[in-house]
Amino acid sequence: MLVLITYDVSTQSAAGKTRLRKVAKECVNYGQRVQNSVFECILDASQLLMLKDRLVSLINEKEDSLRFYYLGNNYQTKVEHFGSKTSYEAEGTLMI
Amino acid sequence: MLVLITYDVSTQSAAGKTRLRKVAKECVNYGQRVQNSVFECILDASQLLMLKDRLVSLINEKEDSLRFYYLGNNYQTKVEHFGSKTSYEAEGTLMI
């Protein structure tokens, strides 16, 4: 199923940047980074559990916000895009 | 239905900040800002058309990325949250 993961972290601090990089690295194992802190992952139930555990252990629960949206298996018609299609590397480097 | 709107814009520039503020203002008419650039809106079909038109006219299509995710009417079980529950004002002021 498609799981959308959105991660709100302050990247003003070096620690925040590092956490975003780590979260991105985990997520792109299962999908793609579609925006700076938005990831679309294709996961089965056990992968979801593992990834969720891993991400929750990486974030700062007092400062950061992490949200999961479950879009199911028939997600092709549930996503629409406008504007630029920037792609990101796992490390966070912007690819134009 | 619940429509998740994610907006990727560089807020390094004043123009980018202004666009994010304008997008946020439109979105919070229909829902809430759950992360800095993630909005959950409850929309019917005609509201969706109007909001989509409005947002597409606000963004810079060459630089920004705007994505819509359609989560349907039974969305309560499709969203999961971890970490801090920061809420934002429409103007973008961080509310702790």
Smallest CA–CA distance, residue A51 to chain B, in Å, is: 13
pLDDT of residue B95: 46
With a cut of 80, say whether residue A6 has pLDDT above it. Answer: yes
Neighbours of A46 (CB within 10 A): 8
pLDDT in tens, A26-83: 999 999 999 999 999 999 999 999 999 999 999 999 999 999 999 999 998 999 999 9
Is some CB atom of chain B closer than 8 A to the CB atom of A70? Answer: yes
The answer to whether residues A75 and A42 touch, using CB atoms and an 8 Å cutoff, is no
DSSP 8-state secondary structure symbol assigned to residue B60: -
CB atoms B71 and A80 under 8 Å = no
Taking phi first (over 0 means left), then psi (-120 to 50 degrees means alpha), and beta for anything else, what does residue B67 get? beta
Q: Which of A61, A71, A77 sits opposite B84 (nearest CB)?
A: A61
pLDDT profile of chain B (96 residues), mean per 10:
94 91 95 95 96 97 96 93 76 46
CB atoms A35 and B6 under 8 Å = yes
Q: How far is CA A84 from CA B12, B59, B66, in A?
A: 17, 10, 8
pLDDT of residue A85: 82
Mutation to test the A interface, candidates B26, B82, B86, B94, most A Cβ within 10 Å: B82
pLDDT of residue B61: 94
pLDDT of residue A88: 64
Helix (H/G/I), strand (E/B), else coil: A14: helix
pLDDT of residue B96: 42
